[in-house]
Amino acid sequence: MNDSRSESYKAAGVDVTAGYEAVKLMKPMVESTFTDGVIGTLGGFGGLFKPNFKGMAEPILVSGTDGVGTKLKLAFLMDKHDTIGIDCVAMCVNDIACCGAQPLFFLDYVAVGKNKPERVAQMVAGVAEGCRQAGCALIGGETAEMPGFYPEDEYDMAGFSVGMVDRQNMIDGANLKVGDVLIGVASSGVHSNGYSLVRKTLGINEKSVRRYIDEFGKTLGEELLTPTKIYVKAIQSLVGTVDVKAISHITGGGFYENIPRMLHDGIRANIEKAAMPLPAVFDLIAKTGKIPERDMYNTFNMGAGLVLAVAAEDADRAVAAISAAGEKAYIIGECVAGEKGVDLK
């Protein structure tokens, strides 16, 4: 029996018993993500995981960390907290998957103004769902109650993940060459980047998020809270089908910042904008804010959550494999000779 309690600390704004209740509510969700490598359960001082190196000549650990950003403001306004955990997981595991790694485990960090156990449990339910989508285990985390630092109804969420790949199977762009084809994998919308611009442009408030928009078939708030796509399983399926030469996760900085990260000197990316459908939400943002097209492509994913490169002869098979994994993919350009960078036409 846990007899930990402090009336003095509670009077200062921190209720340790609320933390215990939150752990009790989230425990089944967390355990639903456990994989064969997990050792123990919640409650220890560290999350334990035993990796399986079988079949690997030179296992490499790959890590990624990120948060949800100001998309959380939408969750506060909508009082909907069960999907932003998916975003948190996605922002970490998609980065890991770009190296060809399989995420092994995830830990989250939640800081709240006031610990409301049911709300924290909703948040962690989203994290658990994201972990299930990525095939990794949620092996621990931290919930910090910080009165006076965050308003009572607000919080922040971040996390990190560790994955593993055999060095010989790493995706690092080393074999990228002129003539390779670029494939865009569809996003689910804005994902988790650029929300400071979104909120300013669309005048986000309690009233505007409840406005129904015909083009979306839902309210503005529901569209903007759509969870970030998790591409781990699609990438793993693709890796087993064709030689994937490079992958870029299109996050903050859009095309102009992220695509060059997968290129090397002497290779430039030529992309046809019209080759991939543009989700209606980006058209709304651009027209409402009169935002130049270059700024849009330098801030948002513009419908492409991933851009990857394969040999020209593998392009059709790659698109088919991605489609078989449940995602939509389009041939959107090619690698050409030139200074490392991106040209959009």
Amino acid 44: pLDDT: 72
Q: What would you measure as the largest C-alpha separation in the chain, in angstroms?
A: 69
pTM, two decimal places? 0.93
- Taking the domain 181-344, which CATH number applies? 3.90.650.10
- Residue pointed to by tokens 């994989």: 35
Residue ranges, the chain, pLDDT below 50: 1
Would you list the domain boundaries of the chain? 10-169, 181-344
Amino acid 138: pLDDT: 96
- Taking the domain 10-169, which CATH number applies? 3.30.1330.10
The H or E element that residue 188 is part of is none
Residue range 178-233, pLDDT digits in tens: 999 999 999 999 999 999 999 999 999 999 999 999 999 999 999 999 999 999 99
Amino acid 22: pLDDT: 74
Residue range 105-134, pLDDT digits in tens: 999 999 999 999 899 999 999 999 999 999
CA separation for the pair 187, 331 (Å, rounded): 15
Neighbours of 244 (CB within 10 A): 22
